[in-house]
Every structure is written in C-alpha cells, then in structure tokens.
Amino acid sequence: MKQVFLETFGCQMNVADTDRMELILFHSGYRRTQEKEDADLILVNTCSIREKAEQKTFSLFGGLKPLKTTNPDLILGLTGCMGQQDGEKMLKKMPYLDFVLGPDQVEGIEQAVNRVKESKKPFVWTGFDIEKKYSIPEISGDLPKKPSPSSFVNIIKGCDKFCTFCIVPFTRGREKSREPEELYQEIRHLIDHGAKEIILLGQNVNSYGKRGLKNPIPFHELLYKIAEIPGLERLRFTTSHPNDFTRETIRAYRDLDKLVNHLHLPIQSGNNDILKLMRRDHTVEEYQELIDELKSEVPDISLTTDIIVGFPGETDAQFRDTLKVMERIGYSSSFMFSYSPRPGTPASEFEDSVPLETKSKRLQEIIKLQNRLTQEQVQSYKGKTVEVLIEGGSSKPGYSFKGRNPQYWRVNLKGDEKKFQPGDIVQVNIEKTSGHSLSGLIQ
Ligand code: 5AD
Ligand code: SF4
C-alpha cells in the first residue's frame, strides 16, 4: 500500500481541497500517513494570503529536501495558491519538486502523480477550469475516514470582489457555484455517514447562485432547502461579504432553527476612508445597520470578524475607528492581521506608509481589546446551560469530549464515555470558562 503525507496551509477551502485529494488518492491506492518519512508521495497545499504563510511553506520544503535526496522515488508536489501565483518560480526555487498544481487542478491529482511516474520531468498545471459551472464529481465507495459530525461543504469557489489587498481573486479565479442538486446529494451522503452539522463553505457564500447555474437559486433559498434535509441538526456558513448579505438571509436566521446563531462577517476596518481604499464598497454605517437588523431578529447571535491593521496610509485616528467599531459590535472573536502587501494586488502599489513597528503595535492593541471582549462574553456563560454538538475527544486534561455550542464557542465536556459519543447533541452545565473556551458537565 502506498502512503501519502498531506500538509495544508491557509483557509478552510484549502482544508477541503486537501480532503478531496486524500479521497481521490485513496481510490487509487494511497493511504494517508502522519509521518513524512514513511511517505511515497508528499503534497503541500499552500496559501499565499499573507507573506507569513509563504514563509512557513518555504521552511517546510527546506525540511523535505533531504527526504527527496535520500529517496529519489519520493514524489513531491506543491499544490494550492502559491502554485497558482508563482508556478514556474516555485520549480526554479525548489528544483527537487516534481510538480506544481493550482487550486483548480485538485481533481487532476491522480493524473499528475501518474505523469511524474511516466515522464520524471517536473511540470506546472495552473490553468483555471474554463467551465462556467463548478462541480465536484461524486466518488462512490469507501471513504478514507468517517465524516466529522461537523462537516464542510463547498458551495461556491473563487471571488469577484477584488478587494485591493487580496490575492484570492487571482489565485482562485472567478466565482462559480455548484448546482443545488449536487449539494443536496453531498449533504445527504455526509448525514448518512454521521454528519450532524453542515458548514457551507466559500470565499463569499452570499454570492451563491448568481450565475451559471441550471437551476439558479439565491443563497437564502439554498439555506431554506438545506434546512429541510432529514437528519441535519445544524447549519452554518462561512465566509460572507457585507455587500451580498441580504435582508432575506437575516430572515432565514429568524425562520430556521437549524441555522445557528453565529455569523462571521468580515469588516476589515472601522474607517470609511480605509474601507474605500480597500474597495470594500460599503461604509461602517451600512455594516452597522445590517448588524442592528440582525440583532433585532436574533438577539443572542454571536458575531466574529476579520480585521486588517496597518493598511497603507492608515493613520492613528483611522486605526482608533477600528477599535471603536469592535467595541460597539462586541465581536466574540476576531481574526486579526497586520497588512501584508501581496504582489500583483492594487494595494501593493500604494505607498506602504505604516512602519512595521506601528503595524505590530496596532495588532497587539486590537488583540488586547478582542481578548477583553471575548473574556466578558465567555464569563457570561458561567452557570448557564448550553447545547453542544460533540465533535470528538478533548485534549484538556480531565475532560472527555470537545464540541461547540450554536454560537461557536469551544466547549470541553465531562461525561460518561460509554454513554455519549461524537455526533451527540447534549445539554451542558458550564462550570468554568477560560480564555476562549467553556467547560462543563453533560446533564
Ligand atoms: N494582508 C493582511 N490580511 C489579509 N487578508 C487578506 N489579504 C490580506 C493581506 N494582504 C485577511 C482579510 C481576509 C482574511 C481571510 O485574510 O482579513 O478577510
Ligand atoms: Fe479577498 Fe475581498 Fe474576495 Fe474576501 S471578498 S476573498 S477579502 S477579494
């Protein structure tokens, strides 16, 4: 039996692409190993969203080079966004690589491996698929692993927004949605194999169904349809752009019990001039209006976001506007980044006037603020009962399981391991809170 070692950097789309490659390779005789040294094939699925992600990849490849030197039969592939962006450059930089694939070439992983075996000449496959539609063909038969109780389903790929700081529209191409029927089928299949919660995935899920579908339906209708699938207990989605987030979707939150009370809605900055330079095409006030409306329909909704500090030209006062918005909205958690110029994006041509030291100070300051906001909210759960979907074993000493409540807080659970199992939805009394998580006893 051949063995494949898979490493993933970056977003959930990449995690989903890695899972897909694992499935395809499983059906051509490869089993996944956690040990690089045992592998016949090593694939590194890369991310180019910020410079740091790229540096991590280069340092991993530095460690892989000796494996290839001692075992020339080892096949080494670089996949994902760095490949898309800089395919030939990657081969030049790392001549020991066998191939480079872009994110649209995931379905061709088996052919790529076969080509290496036949020709032994390094190659780059980074074409975007020219089909208007996005389809993930079903592979029937055994699965390499049981689906997680909380499973991701890609509904749309690519992004047409072209925010000035972002590389994604260049690495992942134009927006394309999958046919609703294909989605229902995949979700039914996951539920049949134990999934309870489905997280709909895409760079901008709210843009789902805008064009190219045989049976076009808007995103909110897709939510209503999926919520009807028997056996589904919870529904989530990520990630959204405020401009495509409709009133109908707010109504879906109100109407659908299964649509959990959590929304990840990136704001990026709390200042209108910076938002304009970022080409986000909305104002802070418009964002706030959406949130107010959502909170009036779903008062216990938790909100998370993405924020960039140190965008070119960001003044101290503009940065303070971001702090104000964070406080006003009261995010339960945020992904916070220091701006990283990405070659080829419009913002990389702007004068990057914020010194590195200021960027890092600002980052520390918003992290501090977010920690306080998180603490305040996490503490309010003490003594309360929350509903948790058990996802697996807990790594926290003294706790048997881990899971999440509808608001997406991580919960560690104490309970009888013979009585409960992953996939169960249980009521939990919260005894303790720490950092970003809750812990308690299953009732
Ligand atoms: N620099 C810093 N952060 C970035 N993001 C995207 N591009 C950049 C960049 N060039 C962040 C945004 C986005 C998240 C996925 O990554 O906040 O929402
Ligand atoms: Fe990037 Fe903007 Fe598209 Fe999000 S919406 S993937 S930040 S271009």
169 C-alpha to ligand 2 centroid (Å): 7
Q: Counting Cβ atoms within 10 Å, is residue 88 exposed (0-12), middle (13-18) or buried (19+)? A: exposed
Q: How far, rounded to the nearest angstrom, does the alpha carbon of residue 167 sit from its chain's CA centroid?
A: 15
Q: What are the helix (H) ranges across 310-355? A: 316-329
Quote the tokens at residue 9. Answer: 């950097």
For 106, 136, 260, the CA distances from 253, given in Å and listed in that order, are 34, 28, 8
The residues that bridge with 4 in the sheet, in sequence order, are: 32, 41
Q: What are the helix (H) ranges across 48-108? A: 51-70, 81-93
Nearest to 237 by CA among 335, 331, 334, 152: 152
331 phi and psi angles, rounded to 5 deg: -65, 145
In short, whether 178's Cβ falls inside 6 Å of ligand 1 is no
Q: Counting Cβ atoms within 10 Å, is residue 295 exposed (0-12), middle (13-18) or buried (19+)? A: middle
pLDDT at 367: 98
Quote the tokens at residue 199. Answer: 């997280």
In short, whether 203's Cβ falls inside 6 Å of ligand 2 is yes
Specify whether the CB–CB gap between 236 and 260 falls below 8 A.
yes
> What does DSSP say about strands 150-154 and 197-201: parallel, antiparallel, or unpaired?
parallel
Give the predicted TM-score (pTM) of the model: 0.95
pLDDT at 311: 98
Specify whether the CB–CB gap between 370 and 391 falls below 8 A.
no
In short, whether 340's Cβ falls inside 6 Å of ligand 1 is yes
437 phi and psi angles, rounded to 5 deg: -130, 165
**CA of 268, closest atom in ligand 1:** 17
pLDDT at 216: 86
pLDDT at 214: 86
pLDDT at 338: 97
In short, whether 241's Cβ falls inside 6 Å of ligand 1 is no
Contacts 24+ apart (CB under 8 A), 65-71: 65/94, 65/96, 67/36, 67/37, 67/42, 68/96, 69/96
**Tens-digit pLDDT string for the chain (443 aa):** 899 999 999 999 999 999 999 999 999 999 999 999 999 999 999 999 999 999 999 999 999 999 999 999 999 999 999 999 999 999 999 999 999 999 999 999 999 999 999 988 899 999 887 776 788 988 888 888 899 999 999 999 999 999 999 999 999 999 999 999 999 999 999 999 999 999 999 999 999 998 778 888 999 999 999 999 999 999 999 999 999 999 999 999 999 999 999 999 999 999 999 999 999 999 999 999 999 999 999 999 999 999 999 999 999 999 999 999 999 999 999 999 999 999 999 999 999 789 999 999 999 999 999 999 999 999 999 999 999 999 999 999 999 999 999 999 999 999 999 999 999 999 999 999 988 899 999 99
Which residue's alpha carbon is at the smallest distance from atom 13 of ligand 1? 306
SS3 439: strand
305 phi and psi angles, rounded to 5 deg: -155, 175
Q: How wide is the angle at C-alpha 234 spanned by C-alphas 228 and 236, nearest 5°?
A: 100
In short, whether 403's Cβ falls inside 6 Å of ligand 1 is no
For 211, 212, 216, 441, the CA distances from 179, given in Å and listed in that order, are 11, 9, 8, 42
pLDDT at 411: 97
39 C-alpha to ligand 1 centroid (Å): 33
Distance CA 177, CA 158 (A): 9
